[in-house]
Amino acid sequence: MESVHSQPITIESLKTTVVKKANESVKSDAKESTSESTRADSINMDSFTMAELQQDLGLDSPPDDTVEIPEVFDIKPVILSVHTMIGHSDAVWEMKIHSNGKLLASASADGSVRIWDISNPHTCTIKSTIWYNGFSTGQSGQFVSGTQTPVCLSWYQDLLYVGFKQGGVGVYDIQGQQVKQHLISDTGVLSILALDAVLYCGYESGKLVMYDRSNLEQVLHQSHDAGIESLCSSRGTVVARGISID
């Protein structure tokens, strides 16, 4: 879609535009030079000839008193939404995409973790649903008050690690659709990160614990002043809320 309109431009307004651009250039170079000679207001406007203005504006003939310069805006639509995925009945706390790019896990306050097939973004479907104690096919199953609420997720190959608000971690085999293991804790898990050999859990109490991922036995822990809301890994370093752990 194009919208074209003309705006009258006078010689004085052209000079004002030149000064403005000069000021912008001077500001960008301010760190390199503070000489008074670089100030835009020291520019002699008489040095801008009609020919120069004609050349800068791309006009076929020199402007007389007023010239009409078209302003063209090319507006292109941007698609922000491809598909709305309907499945949860309450707030979604976290979503994590599998490394194969075909599966998406979503944790919700409705007590479930949905496993979505996103291989076709236009027809995303629920493959299975994880509840604290097991799986159900598709979207079946119902949240029971008082059960565990999933709040954070981490994939490791076909295993999905789920941290729960009431405390503890569940390990779920997505392909085999079975519960592999549960880790019990007395405080809520806010963040979780599964790596090759270890599992990091950030707790609401401010405790950061590293477990042996094969058996979920504690290896070490650190304490912080506030809950560990996020965990990430980069080049062998784990960062928890801006605190690096080598």
Q: How far apart are CA 114 and CA 155, in angstroms?
A: 13
Q: Is the pLDDT of residue 94 over 60?
A: yes
Predicted confidence (pLDDT) per residue in 20-76, tens digit: 665 665 555 555 554 444 444 444 444 445 555 556 555 555 555 555 545 555 666
Cβ-based burial of 100 (10 A; exposed 0-12, middle 13-18, buried ≥19): exposed
Under the banding of pLDDT at 50, 70 and 90, the label for residue 122 is: confident
CA atoms of 152 and 194, how far apart (whole Å): 12
Task: Give pLDDT, residue 134.
Answer: 85
Q: Please tell me the predicted confidence (pLDDT) of residue 40.
A: 42
Q: How far apart are CA 72 and CA 86, in angstroms?
A: 41
